[in-house]
Each structure stands twice: as structure tokens, then as C-alpha cells.
Structure 1
């Protein structure tokens, strides 16, 4: 799955067929047999006139765990040993026919993995290779963890027995739910390359143990689950579709796919980007980005960010930065797609007041630009200083302690007092502003968060662990693979059950509490020197600056580097992340914007 994993290679000594033109590919003739010895022949074919072939989609597995296959080199039967991963070996053995050859395009054998120019070019052909295959064969491995039960249920949903249309043969049960969770937790579903392999296929068939069934049945399960909600989350490869990926501009399509696939794995981290490019190629979209496997990961990610900024609003790319500012090999303004998301993105619904100085600034005079010198990739922009951060609260991480409401309130000059939602005059503007800030919105229900926190305190005394925080910790312990995920040992963001918080509160209170928890997770409350309040990323520190950038509708926390003075025309900063500021901040902005270099 994917052309850029380490493992098998075509050495110069191997008398394998070369690729005579840029439109040629290598096909693998998997010879018939029944023993453990796998024998293949390699043939070249023009992609536009290739014979009937199938394209397996599988996971490489451990690149150090290899087995030997044999590539037949002469008509007399001589063969050369060739190393493939154990997963590839298992896939070939499962797909081999007993009575006739089977023609495949399989990345581990069809591409010289150590030939950078060949790998680079073959990636540009991937969309045509998989869309041109007669069938894509999705190989999930052997039967285990009650996978047969999950598959039988999926098949029946896709093609129910007419005599039992009123009820399924497999009613909802804990064993069935566990089987489904285990099935969709298989490694194949979390690999980045499989997205284009499944999406671009004309026809796809799933092999899992002895079970063989159409990929369309999995898609049908997704549609059924959307209404029944048996499973809260399904992998992106299951939920994405051609329609969802083709209705937008290439930059928007690519950025959305990059964000959605941050949880996906790739043996080569460059493939977090390159594995998605075939989708654009297949949909006749272009991002002005070509595979260069000889480049460093930092350069690949920087080039990708730069290409996205030429087509999309630059702040949308900056909002995708999730704790990358401390990596020495990567500019702070470039998202590190190796990292899972730490927190929600606040910038999606941020609305700068139309009567603010920022909204009325002529953007054309302060346009964003990039300098991509190898030693100094710099993002140049202009912004208004909102102030310097003087106070910060501790980080809130769901499942690792009570929500720090009292601590964060204590950071205000005048401590807020609990107020009634029905009588807002009892609270000062600053007090009401505090409750709006922690929700990252312009509405607040102070009594709701107070009731929730007090309830959590009482529940914490209960040895049965009935609090929401205890629920999150149990979810962490129940992870299918048994190992912590996310950051700092916390539950992965996508697995935190925010919708189960405050379930005993009235609906409006419950929605407010859930938004507070979701927006505050992996963030800190802060106060800037002008007295305004905000919600910043976990990386926020005292002394950081908050800037509202011209041309962006979301402010950012920046950290000045190399001691630049205020008299300098341009100052250098590193990006900590996007933040939320209370709405009255915008009325105080004025003067001329300052030029900023983000490094």
C-alpha cells in the first residue's frame, strides 16, 4: 500500500525489466501453486494499453519482518530471491490461484523502492494505476477477534434476506459491537495510502480470512451507522467519498484530507502528503506539488504548506499547527502532519466584528508572502498587537483532572462571582466575558459550568467513579490496542466522549458545558497586559504576544525570537498557535499594523 515504504528493492544485479517510458509500469504475474514458495514473473506494460490486472491494497507491516519470494528470470525456471514484508507475503499467498497466473500491480515488487526518481514518478501515476485496475483487492489479513461475526453482519446489512427484512439476524449485542470495533481497528483502516486505493477503484473486493465480500458493503454499513449510531466514529477511508473530495478547490480538498488523516499512519512520513496527491490527480485538480522522496520531511511539509497558502486563506493552514513550534527542523508556521491533533481548531467559526480596525484595514497593502530559502523558510505578514500575555492558567486535559474553573477565574483582577443566567446584571462585563471566552463563543451560561464542576467534585468522592472525568479515564483504559494515545498520555482527541458530559443538565446548559470542555481541552486561559482575556494553545507562555493578522479572521499567539526591539521595522516570531480573544478586544485595536516574520 503505497510506493514509498522501505523493504523490498530491485537491485542493479537483478535482471528485472526496465521501464522504457514514463507511461510504463511493472506488472507481477503471480504463478499458480499451493506450497509456501511464492514465484512471480515481472512484465512491463504501457499504462494506457495494459492487460487485465488487479491491484492489492494492504498494509506493509514491520519492514524488518521479511520473507522470501522468487522472481523468475529465465524461461528455464531460474529465479532470483526477493525480500518482501511478511504482510505482503501473506497477501500474495492468499491471492494466488491454484490453476492459472494472476496479474497484479503490487507496490513492493512493481516499484524499485530505492530508486528515488522512479518512486517520485510512479506516485504521479498512482491515480491511473488504481483507477485502471480491473479490481482493487483489499487484503485485511487473517480472521481474528471475531471478525467473521462482524463481516457476516456487514454483509447482511448490504444484502438482507427478504424473509427477515423486519429484523436482522444479528441483534445489537456487546460481542457484536466488540467485533465491529476490532474489525474497523485493523491496521489497514488507519493507513494513509489506502484512502486513494479504495476511493479511486472501479470495483473493490475485501479479503479477510476466508471471507470475501464487496467494499460497497462497508460503505453501506457507514450509511446505516450514520442513522443508527452503533459506532461513534469510523475511519476516514470508510466515510470519505468521491463526491466529498471533488466538490471543492484542490487546496481546500487537500487541506481537509490532511486534517482528517492526521490519525492515519505511514511508514514514510512524506507519504502523509504524497499519499493524498493521487486523489487530486484523479479529480483533475492540481496543487503545484510533486513528489520528491529525496527531500527531507521538513522540506516536504514546508512545500506543502506553501502550496496550500497559494490557494487557501493562509490562516487556515496556520490553524492546523498543533504543537509543532518546538520542532527545530520545521518552521513553526508549518503543520507537522506526523502529529495527531491535540485540540479542536478555533478558527473555523471565528467572526471578527465588522466595525473593528482589523476588518476595515486595506489588505492589499499588507499581503502575506513567503520566502522559502532552504535555511530560512519565512512567512511574512502584518498584524496588530493585541497585547502581551501576563497571566496563564494551567493546561486543561480531559480525563486528567477537574476542569480548572476556580484557578482560571482567580487570574482576573476582580474575581468573578457566580451569577444567575436569568439576572445578568448581577455580574460585571468582565465576569460575563470570562464565561464567553472559555466557550470560545459570544454566549455564556455561568450557572451551567458551575453546576457541572461542582457535580464533578462530588462524583470524584464516589468510589464508583461516576464523574465524566472518570468516564474519560475508563475510555482510555478500554482502548482496543491497550496503549495510551494522544498527547501526554491523554485520550486521543477523537476518542474523548465530550457528548456524554453534563447529560443531566438542561439541553442549553449541556451544550454550553460540552463546548467549554471541547474548546478548552489542551488549552490555557490567559490574560494580556491590556486586561483582555483569551484562550490559547497548551504551548502558551507568559511573555508571549497576541497578534491579529491582517487578512486573517483569527488571532495568534506568537513568541518573539532573537530579542527584536519594537523600533525594528520587522520582528521575528515563532507561532505557538491560534487563540480566542474576547470580542471587546477588537474595539481597542488601532494605529498602523506591524510587520511580522514567522520563522
Structure 2
């Protein structure tokens, strides 16, 4: 389903073409595409079936594209309907010569003029694509069917090394290591050999949110590059290889085709990841808001689709009471998501987000479309369910405030005068910003010693050791020490980050792990603001609004249900009401499983303190 919120077809028979569907029996419409040869008019019929009766059909996945010029097709029963050019081309290419094709195509099978119908058909998306006999993915792109790269794709998938590699592994780190072997399989060909196929992966088809979630929930995918067919596992296998080669072999190569892959969540989960099976079985251990946050780089026509386009990936119990309503404002859609999240997942890690724009129309605690996750732990399922002290958080009736139980931990004493904001800033300036805050805490330290301070390494390694479920990437600490030594010596220090990384990658110490670690460290250095606190803590702040930075009157709080401290600012006009400035990273609260904040609360209770003795109710606005 490419974009259910955008109508692009009308019927000459008015509403008689689309009779109401029975929600109780999960009715959908199937389009029986009549056979024909090239040039024949498209014809067929729409019929209603119940998903409960396990009908046989294929599901069409495509990009709607421009709505004009419209083509009128004739349906049995005297109806006719106008469809867009991409759908017309897709039906023409997929049509069989001698027998009909039973097809679910969103633009035809859902009444796009009826928001109420869309509201109950969109939640059926997961079942439609799971239960379809095949997902037929059509791309409006030409390719030579005799291209050698197409023949090589089959070998890429069916050789014995691949069969060994895709076995399920309980540990994600082992999966990564196994998948590195994939890079050895095409040593006899350079990337120019694969260009006819890699060009397919740059098609705008892959950048649509609806299409990405269709790919992950479908069990059998067949790609139609116009009339050329490619097995889904073949093309997706090459995608995995491109992505891994870019990450582990050619991180700084601007010409590498992996640079041009879509920034989504779905394709990255495909290559044998153990989470996929849970998603396919409605038992996802990943909260809905995580998928929503990862869909930011993908395309939708309307903002509500950033939520609705992810429903098929979410846990069925979490979304059981979430209604699809395109008439709701986006702020209400997001508030409803958070309410469901609080009930099912019982944590507040949705606050661990940063923003790329001013979001004044939203409460500061509410994740919105342009706020990205501060780290990829965010709410990694019930395995990390946090201690609520028996006092749950609650969203106000108007959705504007969030009541939480919290404890004040510290106060901001100093923030850097230099605010990291982009990869184009000099490397030394970023590192000097951290050093500046360190000197506020330890004024007697020599500057040379600052660059090698152990606490700097502890702070800067935080993204790689928490919440992911596996050990930190080997080489991270080595890369951090390397950066600090470069800054200390002045070598490359005046270069911006991208040029400095290119220079460092050419040094004798620049093995694959070193380059990979650098690539992951740099975005965090560029996005965080160093700070020192009243009690001598050195930390980093990821702000929820880029135009609002921490100041000396701000406070650091531990919020029950949130796995990292947060920087809050009390409202002058409303004591006890706080806006969220950002998430705070301190070495003492960082561990592999992201649970030290919970442990802090539990330790207080184990010493005989009651929650009301050391926490208070505050309101986030």
C-alpha cells in the first residue's frame, strides 16, 4: 500500500462501486485482472472477500506517483474507474496472457474517498500482506533482462556460504560477524559490474514508508522491474551486501553505492534479523514509537501516515485500541500513541529524542515527526521494563501535559560556549568544548592531561554500550583515544570532521573496526552539548529543540520510567511544571543494559526509604 491517505481514483457510478465492507468478518476487495496482450485495454472486476476465509490473492506494492494523466478502465457490471499512470502501467506489465490475476491493489480496492473505510482497512494492512500468496513489487524502471548482473544475483543467494550464514543466531553481534562473510562473495566483481542492479535500489520506490513496511511483513516477494522479474530474496540479498560493505569496508567512500541506499528501518532488519519473526507474528518486542522515529527519512503524503504506516510492524496488543482517523490533528495522533505506550510498555524512554526543528506546537515531552531517537535503545521492549515505584505516569485529558514521579539529581553549573551542531565544524573545536567543561570541574588539571582524561573516554563511548543487547563494538575505545591524541598533537585538528575522518582513515592504525567506530562516534560529538554540573559531573546533553540550549538555572532529574537523566527547566509562572530541555548522559548512569537509573531507585527503596520520601510529582509541559 503506497499511500492510503491520498485519493487518486473516482468511479463513474458514484458510490455504487464501493458498497460498505463488513468489519466483523474483515472484508476486503480483490481486483480480478482480466488476461490480455500488450495494448489491450485493462479490464477486470472488483469482488468482496473475507480475510477470515483465507482467500488466495497477490498484493501489489508500487509508488502511486503523479495522479495525471488518468486512464479510465472498465469493470464488469457496468462500472468504470479512473486510475493514475503508475497503476495503469503496473497492471499492464503484470497482466497475464491467458488467465486472470487475483490482485489486491490499494488504489482500486479501498475507497479512497471514504475516510471511515480507510480507517478500518489500514489496520488490516498487516494481514493483507502477511496472508497474500505473494507480494508483487512493481518498479517503473527499465533493465535489460539479459544483464550479467541479474544472472549473478542467483549465485549470490544460492551458494553454500549464504545458506550457512542465514541460520538464526541468538546474539546479534554473532549475526553481524557472520554477515561480514557476505563481503567475500563478490570479490571477482567490482561495484560497476553490479551497477545495473544497484541502480534499482536507488529507485524512489524504496523511499516510501508504506513500501518499506510492506517488504518486512511479506513472506514472499517478487520484484517486477517493468516486465523483468527478479526473485525478492536475490535483490534484497544484494541490498544487505551493499549496506554492510559501506559500513565495514568503504565508510568514507562518497562514490560507494551504499551511500545512496534509503535511510529507513525495514530493509536494515531484513537480513536474518531475529526481530523479524516476531514482527511477522504480531509479537513485536519493539514499541510502535520506535518504528515511527525510524521512519523519519521515508516519504509519506500526510503526517498521520508516519504513525499509521508503521502499525503493521507493531505489537498487536499495543495497538489494539489505537484507531486510525485521518481527521485527527497530528498532535492528537501522537498523544494517542503515547497513551497506549504507557499502558503496554510501561516506560518513558520516548523522551530520549532530539529534534531538528522548533516544535513549539507540541509539548516538549512528546516525540514528534522531526524528533529522532537519541540512541537506538529507545524502549527496547518489555525486557527493559523500568521500575515504576507503583506510581504510573499519566497524560492529561487535553494531551498537553505528562505527570511523572521524579527526583532532582543535580543542577547545571556550566555549559560550553561552543555548541556542536554540524559535521562541518573543526574536530578540535568539538573536543575542546568537552575539555572546557572538564576544566570547570578540575581547574588544576593541565590541558595536555585533559585530552587523555579517562572520564572523557567514559562519556564519549556511551552510545555503544547501552541498550542494544550486545557488547560494545570492538575498537571504539581505541578510536576515542586516537581522536584525543590527534587533538592533543594538533594533527588534523583544524580540519572539519569529514576531512579529518578521511585523513585518519589513511593512517596505519585505520583498520575496519577503527573506521567503523569513528563513523559512529562523530555524529554524537556533533550533536551533543557538553555540560558540567553543580556536584562535579561531566556530561553531554542532547536537546529536544535545537534553539533551546541548557543554562545554569536548569536542573537534572531522574524520572521514574526513563532510563537516562533528563535536563528540565521549571516554568516561572507555574512552579512544579517543567519543560524538557534534553536527555543527559553521565558515565555513572550508562551501562550495557541501560538500567542504572532504575537501580538507583531500587537502591533507595532497599535502604528502607519510601518512594514519597525521595520523589515528588512533577508535570512536564
TM-score range, shorter chain: 0.7 to 0.9
Could you say which residue in structure 1 is the equivalent of 2:436?
Answer: 410
Aligned counterpart for 1:549 among listed residues 544, 559, 569: 559
Distance 1:259 1:148, change over 3 A: farther
| 8 A Cα contact 1:544 1:560, kept in partner | yes
Tell me how many residue pairs correspond in the alignment.
533
Superposed CA offset, 1:200-232 (max 9, x none): 334321111342022122344466668866776
**Whole-Å Cα distance in 2 between the matches of residues 436 and 199 of structure 1?**
37
Quick one: structure 1 residues 240 and 342, their matched pair in 2 at CA, closer, same or farther if it must change by over 3 Å? Answer: closer
Q: Is the 8 A contact 2:567 2:581 kept in 1?
A: yes
The answer to whether residue 110 in structure 2 is matched with residue 111 in structure 1 is: yes
- 1:14-29, aligned counterparts within 5 Å? 14-22=15-23, 23-29=26-32
> Secondary structure, in 3 states, of the residue corresponding to 1:109?
helix
Change (3 A) 1:394 1:40: farther
Q: Which runs of 5+ in 1 are unaligned?
A: 350-358, 421-426, 462-466, 475-496, 566-570
Q: Which of 47, 51, 58 lines up with 1:47 in the alignment?
A: 51
Contact residue 459 and residue 539 of structure 2 kept, 8 A = yes
SS in 2 for 1:252: coil
- Give the gaps of 5 or more residues in structure 2: 162-183, 250-256, 381-385, 466-475, 591-596, 605-612
Q: C-alpha distance in 2, partners of 1:198/1:516?
A: 31
1:97-149: CA deviation from partner (whole Å, max 9, x where unpaired): 34443221100111112312211111222222223322210112212699956
Post-superposition Cα deviations, 1:542-596, rounded to whole Å, max 9, x if no partner, equal: 243321223433111223335334xxxxx22222331212539999x99733432
CA root-mean-square deviation: 4.4
Judged with a 3 Å threshold, the aligned counterparts in structure 2 of structure 1 residues 418 and 108 are, in CA distance, closer, same or farther, namely same
Tell me which of 164, 167, 175 is aligned to 2:192.
Answer: 175
Q: Which residue of 1 aligns with 2:269?
A: 240
SS at match of 2:415: strand
Q: SS state of the match for residue 348, structure 2?
A: helix
Closer/same/farther in 2, CA of residues 564 and 142 from structure 1, 3 Å limit: same
Q: Is the 8 A contact 1:245 1:253 kept in 2?
A: no
CA separation of 1:297/1:444 partners in 2, compared to 1, >3 Å: closer, same or farther?
same
Map residues 65-104 of structure 1 onto 2, 5 A cutoff: 65-72=68-75, 74=77, 78-84=78-84, 86-104=85-103
What is the TM-score normalised by the length of structure 1?
0.75
Superposition TM-score, scaled by structure 2 size: 0.72
**Deviations, residues 281-305 of structure 1 (Å, cap 9, x unaligned):** 7x78755323222222211122112
Residue 392 of structure 2 is aligned to residue 373 of structure 1: no
CA distance in 2: counterparts of 1:216 and 1:507, whole angstroms:
28
- The equivalent residue for 1:592 is 614
Partners of 1:126 and 1:299 lie apart in 2 by: 22
- Which residues in structure 2 correspond to 1:194-593 (within 5 Å)? 194-221=211-238, 236-241=265-270, 243-247=274-278, 250=284, 252-280=286-314, 287-319=320-352, 321-323=353-355, 326-336=358-368, 338-339=369-370, 341=372, 344=375, 363-364=388-389, 367-374=391-398, 376-388=400-412, 390-397=414-421, 399-403=423-427, 404=429, 405-411=431-437, 412-413=439-440, 414=443, 416-419=445-448, 432-440=454-462, 448-453=482-487, 458=492, 469-470=498-499, 504=509, 516-538=521-543, 539=546, 540-542=549-551, 543-565=553-575, 571-583=576-588, 592-593=614-615
